[in-house]
Every structure is written in C-alpha cells, then in structure tokens.
Structure 1
C-alpha cells in the first residue's frame, strides 16, 4: 500500500478518509510481518486517524 501522508490526509474529505482507513486496515491485515507494505499501512492508519481526530464531529 502507498503511504498516506498527514498532508494527503488533510486534503481528503471525511468520507474519503474512512474509505482509506478501511483500505489501510485490510492492507495491514494481509501484508507479511516486517514488510514495508505493512509498515506503510500502519503509518497510513495512524495518519488518517490523527486527521480524523482533529476534525469536528458531524451531527
């Protein structure tokens, strides 16, 4: 999986971020342990979750 940077996450809509988070989770789950793909997926999840955390909640 391509790494989703914090800058890229900030430029996406909340709906897109939720979709990307799901993709990153799935990529993490199937990637071999210790692989670059797994590290990228994990860091992407962190970046996406950090961006979602600073956004105001939608009602």
Structure 2
C-alpha cells in the first residue's frame, strides 16, 4: 500500500488515503473523506513501485 496525502475538494481539510500499488496500471477508486464523509473520485497509476499519475475530484451532486 502507498500512503498519499491530499486536500479534500469539499471541506479543504488535509487527509491521507491508501493506494493499492498492486492494482492495474490505471486505477479508479471512490474514497470518502475522513473529515466530511463526502465521496472523492481518485484516479492513479503506478509504474513498478513509483506513483506516476494521481488526480482526484468531487463527485457532482455531493455538495451541501
């Protein structure tokens, strides 16, 4: 597992997520913010053990 810090796109709090390094080349997951509990769409890629792509965004319709 790979630990990655990001800023929640809803509440702007710093959070940490775990990424599976053994998953397919292009991975897409939904993780809930540990502070505000709203879902975040996360896309990432590893090449061997190196994170080569990481992007995340809000899921429309989940704003308060």
Give TM-score scaled by structure 1 length. 0.26
Larger helix percent: 1
Name the structure, 1 or 2, with higher relative contact order (CA <8 Å, separation 6+). 1
Give TM-score scaled by structure 2 length. 0.25
